[in-house]
Structure 1
Amino acid sequence: MRRSDRSLLVTRVAVAGAAAAVLLLFTGLSALLLWGGPGSEDRPALQAVPGLLATNGPWLVAVALGVVLAAAAAAGPLHRRWVAAPAQLAEQAEVLLGPEVQRNLTLPGAAAPLQALAAHINALAAQRDALRADIAGEVASASRHIEQERQRLAALMSELPQSVVVCTLDGRVLLYNRRARLQFRALSGAPGAAGGAELLGLGRSIHAVFDRELVAHALASVQQRLQRGAEQPSAQFITSTPSGQLLRVRLSPVRAVAEKAAREAPQGRAGPATLAGFVLLLDNVTREFEADAENTRWPLEDMRGSDVLQAAQARIQAGGRLACTLGTVDETLWLRVDSYSLMLALAGLAERVHEELGLRQVQLRLQERPEGEGDSGGPRRAQLDLLWTGPALSTETAMGWELDALPRSGAAAGPGGPPSLSVREVVQRHGGSVWFERERTRHEAFFRFVLPLAAETALLETLEAADTGDEGRPDYLGFDLFAASQHQRALDDRPLAELSYTVFDTETTGLDPATDEILQIGAVRLLAGRLLKGESFDQLVHPGRSIPAEGIAIHGITPAMVAGQPPITTVLPAFHAYARDTVLVAHNAAFDLRFFQMKEAATGLRFEQPVLDTLLLSAVLHPAQASHRLEAIAERFGVSVQGRHTALGDALVTAEIFRRMLPLLAQQGIVTLGQARAAAQKTWYAQLRY
């Protein structure tokens, strides 16, 4: 038997003996007292008990107390060894679970079995630390590799002669090169000094420039070609911008990581689920288009005719009020078209058929136009019909439908968007023609579009169908650009750490929004906790009035500085575009927003996105603090204040403060935008009105 086991056995026997002695002593005393009650005179042996107790009582009590004290003295060390020591071991082991804790467990005076257990825990912790070190090394190595890939990508993109923008599947910008940034700045029409006021920025939506449906149409075209087995399909379209420029855009897909596995699986086919995003290559073709002798034409793309009809069919049936079937379709025909505008023209005419004739079904058909039908000697053409059975139209009504402007949607429908086209203008873009016909014997009526065919269609189809191997495929970078795309959930349910923010500030001529004017707007963007200083907005504004001397002493903006600067009616739309699709953040935001609100009539703009106020959030986090001024909060969070009372300087300080507030809000259970807004509204400062 080991020594520790013998000590444990002796201790247990001593405790058990002491407890038994105490129990027997008090049991005996109790029995004697009971037996000495009524009737004890019949038991002569017990008649001597009272005298015995009277004589030896103190001695017996002393013995009993001694036994009790001995038992207590034996129990103390046992409690420390077998109750307190395991509890200490558990608490120390809990500390070891921390991610940055490296220490050994120590249990002075603990029993040998507990010491052995502590040694085993220390060994396991050492193994864990070694594994952590190995993982950290692997992560560091992978990070260096990723950074090298990023640098190579940045160098490659910077040298490209075209503008390149990489987007997630829902249109959020992930990467762009310098040429794209400069081009978008020119397209935005923003004041020259408003650096970053262009529509392009990390996390921004590309749909701020391109109509969402136009991009969706191009993606659908690419997905159709993927489903047919094409390895590197792309779609091209021409679009006009709010500033009147023409852009030729080529859209190419970015495959999901699982694409190869899906393709190699039995009957695996590429489809919408295999796309993770897309790349846009952009060229400004305004001058090229203006210099073209055939300036009535629109730059077109080659597209399979059946794809055009399928897109138009989906568009016509989108509202659920009108069915569209496909009749005779020549699958070999390739058209040279602007597929998006042609789809809108067909859908617009179909909607008129439903609304004014009460019909619920139309049909599309496509075939090559026979020679000798008005096109002899010219290039080959196709005829595309929108057909229905039932009542016909008068010639005057049909011409009216052809000349009416088509409805616009998405970004195209906004102020300053490109003008709406008519069906006739769409066809003229193609160098084609359109007319209305009736077939009385069949009770059919149709609009016929005559459109140009693409050149060398057989070669195009052959090349695309054959391009299914791995040879010539582009190399994919060794990092996932698209894993952070989380833009499908409602904003209030979105985690604060995932949102994109515009942190802004204004300088004004005074404190009264009704009579004073904005002198400067400064802003910076915050995306996933990262401060994007390179995409800042900083613009002086001509106030159209004098600047009080007491204000100049604070913000330092003099009349000479704003001379020649654009008015607020020019600057505010630029800032509105800059802040689109983001959450606004400001210190005492109600003050700045009231100035914006006063300009709604002059600009037609409203800032309707969610707003967070660092003043209110400071009151949520630190309600016991005496001051929630920007300087006081900055000092509390250790934020260096530079450029105070300049719009951009204050915006940068506010952004740093807000960034450091996010983890503290999370500790209080405030993790979503909705929770932050609800908490801020409960503060006293939220009751102030301007």
Structure 2
Amino acid sequence: MAERFGLRLRFALFFAALALGGSIAICGGLWLGYTRMGGPVEGYVTAGIVAGFGLLGLAAWVGLLFDENVAKPILALASELNTRARAGVDADIDEKQARYLGALAPAVSTIHDALSEARAAQEHAVALETARINREKALFETLLHDLAEGAVVLTPDNRVMLYNRVAQQLLGALGLDRRIQAFLRPEPLEHALKRMESKYARGQIEAESFLAASADGSRFFLARISPVISDEERLGHVLIFHDATEDLQVHAERDHLFNTMLEQVRRPAAALSAVLDVLQEDGDMPAKTRATFNAAMREEVDRLFTCLSDTGPRYGSAASRHWPMTEVAAEDIFDALRARGITKLDSVGGSQFMRCDGFAIVGLLALVLNGLAKSETRHDITLKAEPHDHEVWLTIIWNGEETPDGLIDAWVQQPISGGYGQYTGRDVLDGHRTEIWSEIQADGHRIVLPLVAAGEPVLSASEARPEFYDFNLPAVALDDDMADRPLSELSFVVFDTETTGLSPSNGDEIVQIAGVRIVNGRLLRGEVFETLVNPGRPIPAATTAVHHITDDMVVDAPGISEAGKRFHDFCQDSVLVAHNAPFDLAFLRLKEQQIGRKFSQPVLCTVLLSAALFEHTGSHTLDALAGRFGVSIAPELRHTALGDAVATAEVFQQMLKVMQGEGIGTLRQAIAAERRMTQIRKAQNY
């Protein structure tokens, strides 16, 4: 029975019992005095009432002092120790709050210091053991990051537990613990999985290829999926894919060109054949009639030439798009030529970048350079890369004998390499939609090869690498009942909004939304949502002074309709978390009809959870919680949607550990704890 009552209530009951017992004792003593000594009963009653009320008042006063200086500090110290034990917080304990408890506060600080030392020793031991794993992890991350194809590893129920940057670029807002069906049309994937299952049942472990479209149908991917098996246990699937949209478009365009040309050629060819038959059969045809047939033949021949003239450029354009063009540095081409044994070669301008088939261009230049080298009268050969508007000119410069264009044409008619079959230097020029020619300059001769310029890849050394994988995702289907699932198995979106004011029902609007994801207990700093929102009304100067968002900043920002849809997609299959969540949700839910989506996800509020976990304190502001858990918020990020969302997420991560220790382990239990504390909101300052 006693375990049902809190410490403060126990002390209150103790002093109440003391006051009640004292009052009974006073009444008993007065009654005994009256029975022995006699006298007016009114005097005894008056004395009893005065003494009783005096005792009750004294007990209440002493009880309040005891509650304020003993019970609350004890609870505060217990909460501090519990938080540090479960959340790993190392901030020093404030001993002033327990200044009347003698040696208890210093003893608690000593325990905290010992706990910190033990944790540091444990972390050191773990760090030594994990150093090797971290090195392997770095190698794995680099390999995954630089793959040219999209790579996704799926759980058995097709949730993402690994992806690389290419996959994110191709599929959009890809994220851990999200269903792959949200990014790919599910039917081809499901059919491929069924085929793979059938093979696996026959003892065949093979990859299955398929063609899939993106969820919005704008892209097509050539993909293959294979099982991940360890100790005969199915751990998931590996999905490798690349964008085949342009390949399919080019194939369709070339097929259409061929069919069109065939149809346009068939009629003139048939007409020419008929005219020739008539001319051959009638050798004595009158001159006027023969002239008419000749004119008809000329007309049909003109049609043929027109068809070929129109189709040729269109085919060349499609072929050049289909050919594997990439950004190539001129220095790489120069090095490749040296590797072919062309040693008497100086090069200049290797920092230029071109969009081309590097291997084919090397083969073409090798044909020309080898042709030049056959004559001993040509010397001082230099290869340059020079920018010209939107092109880079590769120029071969030499002194000595001139090279006529006819000789260059003969060189480029040769195959460039055995690996390319009969593909000649002329084919290379046609495929790149360019030409090569020779020129005479004052200081010698040169051959010019123009290629399309490409920008140098932009590299950012400070770019943070997002969390692309999590192999510890629980094997639980997302469509299970979320209420009874452990909090550790859920995905969360911690979000915040900035607004024009505090009253959504009176016309205030959202000006910024930001959110971050927590999956498997990890804050995924690489999966962030952030956008300004055009509120459609002026932003008051008073609110701009708080969040520093001005009217000029939101002029070109999306409206709440577009921003709300994007944010809703970001929150898919997640529990929403916010500090003072009813405020932020009120703005979103008032716009549900305009957005076209309902924010029906479960919601947790860090204010109410704080009140449930730390009821001895009246401060549940974000700053107070950050201080409690040792979370720092940069001043320039405070009162920005993303800054507050990240700080709330870091606080919520620590709260999850404390909640687990308090027996709040499922979403249902967390929501129940919030409901018990709803009335506290009226008395708190947050």
By relative contact order (CA 8 Å, sep 6+), the higher-ranking structure is: 1
TM-score (norm 1): 0.47
TM-score (norm 2): 0.48
Higher helix share: 2
